[in-house]
A and B are shown apart, each in its own frame.
Chain A
Amino acid sequence: MEIDPFIFRLSIFILSIFVGYYVVWSVTPSLHTPLMSVTNAISSVIIVGAIIAALSGSDGAVFSSSSIYGFLAIILAAVNIFGGFLVTQRMLAMYKKKKKDK
């Protein structure tokens, strides 16, 4: 009997939860705020779905009743992607080590 592809995706999902669990516990507490902003940015990979939705219209009618939601989602996700990664970068740039000289 063939295995439903859903089971493969479910396996990836469950294993990723475990990967996430161990990786996040190893994040140093001083970087928990950047952790939140970067998880924010990467969860906006949902833009993949938004792009597919936006491009579902035909050439003559780019904005159909379904593709318009895709375009709206693109804006939201793009705010998040750029905002999330840039603000994380801005924060991380501030973390400096003690200067040895006085």
Chain B
Amino acid sequence: MSANLSASLYLVSGVLFILALRGLSSPETSRQGNLFGIIGMIIAVAVTFLSVDNFTSGFIYVLIFLAIGGSIGAFIAYRIPMTAMPELVAGFHSLVGLAAVFVAISAFKNPAAFNLGSPGNIKLASLIEMAIGASVGAITFSGSVIAFLKLQGIMSGAPITFKGQHLLNALLLILIVILTIYLCSTQSSNLFWILIAVSFLIGFLIIIPIGGADMPVVISMLNSYSGWAAAGIGFTLENTALIITGALVGSSGAILSYIMCKGMNRSFFNVILGGFGGTEQTSGSQNKEQRPVKSGNADDAAFLMKNASSVIIVPGYGMAVAQAQHALREMVDTLKKNDIKVSYAIHPVAGRMPGHMNVLLAEANVPYDEVFELEEINNDFANADVAFVIGANDVTNPVAKTDPQSPIYGMPVLDVEKCKSVLFVKRSLSPGYAGIDNDLFYKENTLMLFADAKKMTEDITKNL
């Protein structure tokens, strides 16, 4: 296949990838978008086979390896529970990162196959691109592995910090730049290996200080890194499809990190420097005096909801932990049968990754046009009769609006307290991720329902 033709076809697959993302602007077009993505991928792979034009025994092996990887991927995709999507995505990021490292190593060892010169005499520009691709790929890999372990609970979600951490990271980053410069002048393979090793170390070091509550930012950030790694390799291979995709994924991840940071009212640097989510318990422990709370049972809750004309559900990650989403949908079905208007309010950081709560609700057959984002629904709380908070905590805390001393001050929160009455399903009065007390518990119009989310929801349904 001529170089011009293959380059044009790579461009086509790049455009199809853009359309794949474009499709996600609405659930109706999203499935078509995914199809565009698949076609784009098939074109890219087919063009590569045709332009390498080596259909010997190696080709058979490539197909075998492709089939092995593909079946593992397909198996995981069908088996993974939706609650584990963050782990899955973190795991997948690490694979992209490692693949980028491997491709860079291979290009470094055998540059002739990629038209980059000969070993020890690689074109300068290609060498720089290769070093960037390998380095970002390695950071993505080790960072994602740590994120995966933290999400999976194998590693504690608590931030790991030590003295001089930031200085060490800065020094290692400078070291990478120096190594790259020396690599370009000496073309030494030892330096290349050291570069990769140091990058692995950096990825590890920048994720360990980040707490469990900040995982949505971390996953988005690693998403972005995996894109930049792909783009770096794209420059090395002079491949348009890879450059376009890398840029798309890189900016996508960056935007998602930004949205997540905004949802928590934290600056990106604040998250990256770490130490949040587990350690700060300053304001929570100071005013420990017992304040009266009203608590109720399923019967009371059912009575309140039966007499309401509109109910807003505020789900949080706790709901998913208790596996209460199906029970919740059944409760809502019963409410709807009684002509009560029900909608769901989702905070941007409600799940453990961007949009996670929406997927969990969709899995429980909740129609997506009943689910609203914070900006869309926040004004409706004042007109609603009952807010049903299940598994959420910090994102409903009115302190974020009133107390400038609070660590979550300024974070956008759902105006749950404006509802006529609030039902708050929770096991105890313990604070949430941010480690602070929720003022909502002590409001006049709040009824606490102390129970397991799933059991409570089922009991309410029975009483309706």
Q: Which residues of A contact B (CB under 8 A)?
A: 5-6, 9, 12-14, 16-17, 19-21, 23-57, 59, 62-67, 69-99, 102
Contact = CB atoms under 8 A, between A and B. Distances in A.
9 smallest A-B Cβ distances: which pairs? A78-B69, A32-B355, A83-B73, A56-B113, A82-B73, A16-B247, A32-B354, A66-B110, A20-B251
B68 A75 contact: yes
Interface in B48-71: 48-49, 52, 54, 56-59, 61-62, 65-71
B107 A32 contact: no
Contacts of B37: 38, 41-42, 85, 88
Nearest to B220: A36
A37 B24 CA distance: 12
A102 B131 CA distance: 60
Contacts of B61: 54, 62-63, 71
Tell me what chain B mostly uses at the interface: helix, strand, loop, or mixed: helix
Contact of A30 (B34, B40, B358): B358
Contacts of B10: 48
A36 B353 contact: yes
B70 A82 contact: yes
Contacts of A81: 41, 69-70, 73
Interface of B: 10, 13-14, 17-18, 20-22, 24-27, 30-31, 33-34, 37-38, 40-41, 44-45, 48-49, 52, 54, 56-59, 61-62, 65-74, 76-78, 80, 82, 85, 88-89, 92-93, 95-96, 98-100, 102-103, 105-107, 109-110, 112-114, 125, 219-220, 223, 226-227, 229-231, 233-253, 255-256, 259, 337, 346, 348, 351, 353-356, 358-359, 362-363, 365, 367-371, 373
B106 A95 contact: no
B103 A70 contact: yes
Given A28-B27, A29-B373, A80-B95, A52 B113 contact: yes
A70 B230 contact: no
Given A13-B244, A86-B74, 18 more contacts: A17-B247, A19-B248, A20-B249, A24-B255, A29-B355, A33-B358, A35-B354, A36-B256, A36-B354, A39-B227, A42-B249, A63-B61, A66-B109, A71-B61, A74-B66, A83-B77, A87-B88, A96-B362
A37 B220 CA distance: 11
8 contacts: A12-B244, A20-B249, A36-B253, A36-B355, A38-B21, A45-B44, A48-B10, A80-B96
A35 to B, nearest CB: 5
A80 B240 contact: no
Given A25-B255, A46-B96, A62-B57, A33 B353 contact: yes
A42 B367 CA distance: 28
B237 A89 contact: no
A20 to B, nearest CB: 4
Nearest to A98: B367
Nearest to A89: B34
Given A36-B220, A42-B249, A9 B235 contact: yes
A22 to B, nearest CB: 9
B256 A32 contact: yes
A98 B315 CA distance: 19
Contact of A88 (B34, B41, B102, B219): B34
Between A12, A17, A29, A37, the greatest number of chain B beta carbons within 10 A of the residue's beta carbon is seen for A29
Contacts of A73: 98-99, 102-103, 106
Given A42-B41, A52-B52, A75 B110 contact: no
Given A33-B85, A36-B256, A53-B113, A79 B369 contact: no
Contacts of B40: 42, 45
Given A17-B250, A31-B27, A50-B99, A91 B82 contact: yes
A25 B77 CA distance: 26
A90 B363 CA distance: 10
B251 A37 contact: no
A43 B30 CA distance: 18
A96 B358 contact: no
Contact of A13 (B98, B247, B252): B247
Given A40-B89, A67-B110, A81-B41, A35 B243 contact: no
Contact of B242 (A49, A55, A82): A49
A21 B255 contact: yes
Contact of A97 (B41, B82, B355, B368): B368
Given A49-B237, A89-B34, A33 B359 contact: yes
B102 A93 contact: no
A76 B31 contact: no
Contacts of A76: 69, 95-96, 98-99, 102
B356 A45 contact: no
B435 to A, nearest CB: 26
B17 A42 contact: yes
